[in-house]
Amino acid sequence: MRVIALGRRAFVNAFRLAGVEGIEISTSEGMLKMVKQLISSGDVGLILLSEDLADEVRVDLAAMRKGHPVPLLYELPPPGGRLKQIDYMQLVKEIVGI
């Protein structure tokens, strides 16, 4: 299973330095489209998403998480970004549909 980072150039390059495959994306809509393609490929186990792009499509990503437990979609702050407090209980409720 592959690990892929999706985000702007600095985010992707940081993971490329660690040996992770990366795809540069400049828009939230482009990210959503690429996530759909990667899910359908069937050989990806983890997709690392740049949080700044994922913010705008969070509802769509939650729906994808609900329908496809693999690959795991994990959001991380971009280089220079601030850590955000994530309500994991709320995220799980959205994924489960509660």
Q: What is the domain-level CATH number for residue 85?
A: 3.40.50.10580
pLDDT band at 6 (very low <50, low <70, confident <90, very high): very high
pTM greater than 0.85 (yes/no)? no
Question: Is there a contact between 74 and 47 (Cβ–Cβ < 8 Å)?
Answer: yes
CA separation (Å) from 74 to 43, 77? 16, 10
Helix (H) / strand (E) containing 76: strand 72-76
At 82, is the pLDDT very low, low, confident or very high (cuts 50, 70, 90)? low
Q: Considering the chain, what is the average pLDDT of its residues?
A: 85
- pLDDT of 12-44, one tens digit each? 999 999 999 999 999 999 999 999 999 998 899
What are the beta bridge partners of residue 82?
none
**CA dihedral of residues 36, 15, 89, 86 (deg, nearest 10):** -120
| Total count of domains within the chain | 1
Which residue segment(s) compose the domain that 37 sits in?
A: 2-96
Closest CA to 7 of 70, 51, 72: 51
pLDDT(86) > 90 = no
Does residue 89 have a pLDDT over 80? no
Beta partners for 74? 48
Mean pLDDT throughout 52-70?
Answer: 85
Q: pLDDT band at 61, cuts 50/70/90?
A: confident
